[in-house]
Amino acid sequence: MTGLKVIVTGATGMVGQGVLRECLLDADVEKVLAIGRSPSGKQDAKLREIVLRDFSEFETLEAEVGGYDACFFCLGVSSVGIKEADYRRVTKELTLGVARTLVKANPQMIFIYVTGVGTDSTEKGRSMWARVKGETENELLRMGFRGAYMFRPGYIQPAGGVRSKYGWANAIYAAIATVYPLLKRIFPGQVVTTAEVGKAMIRVAEKGYEKKVLEPRDIGEAASG
C-alpha cells in the first residue's frame, strides 16, 4: 500500500503548522503539498510548496493538485471586527472555490475542514460566524468528495514547537501549557493540541470516522486510533 498524498492549506497558521508538522513526521504520509499565501519555512524531502497570494485564483492550480488522497483545509480568519460580507467571502466563498477545484481533480479525495465548536448547522442562528461556518460545512458535505469531515476543535494548545503569529498569544499559550494536562483531565471533551488535530486528520483520511462532524472529544479519539 502506498502512503497518503495530502494537500495542506494554511500551513503558516497555528493549526496549519501543527497539521503540517504531523504530516511530515508520520510514516504513513508519503507526499505533502502545502499551498498558502506565504512559504511555511519548512524543508523536507516529501514537502512541496506553492505560494498563492490570492486563493480566489485557486482554479489556476487544477493541473497541480491532481493525484492527491486528502486535503487538510486549515485556512481561515477570525470574525472579530470583520463585516459579514467580507467574512463570508473569505470563509465560505474561497473555501468552496478551493473545494470545487479539488473535487474536480480528485473525486476520490477526503476533504477535512477546520471549523469550530458552536458552528450552526441550521444556518439560522443569531451568531454570524456560526451561520457562515454552518453554511460552509453543509455545502462541503454535499460537494461529492469520497469523504468530507468537519473538525470542530474547541480550545487548541500548540505543541511541538508550533507558535502563533502573535507574540501576546504565545505568552498566553506558554502560561496555559503548565496547566494543560490538568485542563485535559477536567475538560477532556473541550480541549485538544495541534498535534492531536494533525494526527486525527491523518487517521480519518486513512480509515474514515463514524461521524462526519467531529467535536473535540472525537478529534482526540481519532488521533489515538
Domains of the chain: 4-224 (3.40.50.720)
Residue 83 has pLDDT above 70, yes or no: yes
Residue 1 has pLDDT above 60, yes or no: no
pLDDT at 191: 92
pLDDT at 77: 82
Pairing relationship of beta strands 70-73 and 47-51 according to DSSP bridges? unpaired
Mean of all residue pLDDT scores within the chain: 94
> Residue 78's pLDDT band (boundaries 50, 70, 90)?
confident
Q: Which three cell numbers stand for residue 67?
A: 493525484
Residue 84 contacts residue 128 (beta carbons within 8 Å): yes
The pTM of this model reads 0.94
d(CA 1, CA 11): 27
Which helix H or strand E contains 134, and what residues bound it?
helix 128-141
pLDDT at 207: 96
